[in-house]
Amino acid sequence: MLGTLNLVSTPIGDYSDMSLRALRTLEESDKIYCEEFKEGSKLLRFFEIKKEVSELNEHNEARATDEIFNELLQGKNISVISDCGTPLFSDPGKIILSKCIEAGIKVEFMSGANSLLSAIVLSGFDISRFFYYGFLSPKAEIRRKQMKEFNLSDRVTVILDAPYRLKAVLNDIRDIFGERKVFVAFNITQDSEKKFRGTASEILQEIGEDNLKGEFVIVIDKHYEKKIVISEKNDHNDSL
pLDDT in tens, 65-94: 999 999 999 999 999 999 999 999 888 899
Q: What is the pLDDT of residue 232?
A: 57
Number of domains within the chain: 2
Q: What is the pLDDT of residue 30?
A: 97
Q: What is the pLDDT of residues 179-224, one digit of tens each?
A: 999 999 999 999 999 999 999 999 999 999 888 899 999 999 999 8
pTM: 0.85
For residues 216 and 141, membership in a common domain is answered with yes
Whole-number Å distance between alpha carbons of 42 and 61? 21
pLDDT band (50, 70, 90) for residue 56: very high
For residues 55 and 130, membership in a common domain is answered with no
pLDDT, average across residues 19-30: 97
Q: Assess if residue 235 is contained within a domain.
A: no
Q: What residues contact residue 26 under an 8 Å CB cut-off, 6+ apart? A: 8, 32, 44, 47, 49, 51, 79, 81
CATH code for the domain in which residue 25 is found:
3.40.1010.10
Mean pLDDT of the chain: 92
Taking the alpha carbons of 47, 51, 52, 58 in that order, is the dihedral positive or negative? negative
Q: Assess if residue 92 is contained within a domain.
A: yes
- Domain extent at residue 53: 4-110
Q: What is the pLDDT of residues 141-193, one digit of tens each?
A: 999 999 999 999 999 999 999 999 999 999 999 999 999 999 999 999 999 99
pLDDT band (50, 70, 90) for residue 240: very low
For residues 160 and 87, membership in a common domain is answered with no
Name the E strands within the chain: 4-8, 31-34, 52-55, 78-80, 106-110, 130-135, 156-160, 182-186, 194-198, 216-220
For residues 105 and 162, membership in a common domain is answered with no
Examine the fold and report which residue of 86, 110, 134 is the final residue of a domain before the chain moves on.
Answer: 110
Taking the alpha carbons of 165, 171, 173, 175 in that order, is the dihedral positive or negative? negative
Q: What residues contact residue 23 under an 8 Å CB cut-off, 6+ apart? A: 47, 49
CATH code for the domain in which residue 211 is found:
3.30.950.10
For residues 94 and 120, membership in a common domain is answered with no
For residues 20 and 105, membership in a common domain is answered with yes
Q: What is the pLDDT of residue 229?
A: 60
Examine the fold and report which residue of 110, 143, 160 is the final residue of a domain before the chain moves on.
Answer: 110
For residues 214 and 190, membership in a common domain is answered with yes
Q: Assess if residue 157 is contained within a domain.
A: yes
For residues 89 and 174, membership in a common domain is answered with no
Q: What is the pLDDT of residue 210?
A: 85
Helix (H, G, I), strand (E, B) or coil at 117: helix
For residues 77 and 19, membership in a common domain is answered with yes
Q: What is the pLDDT of residue 22?
A: 97
pLDDT of 234 over the 60 cut: no
pLDDT of 236 over the 60 cut: no
**Percent of all residues in the chain with a pLDDT value above 90, rounded to a whole number:** 87
Q: Assess if residue 234 is contained within a domain.
A: no
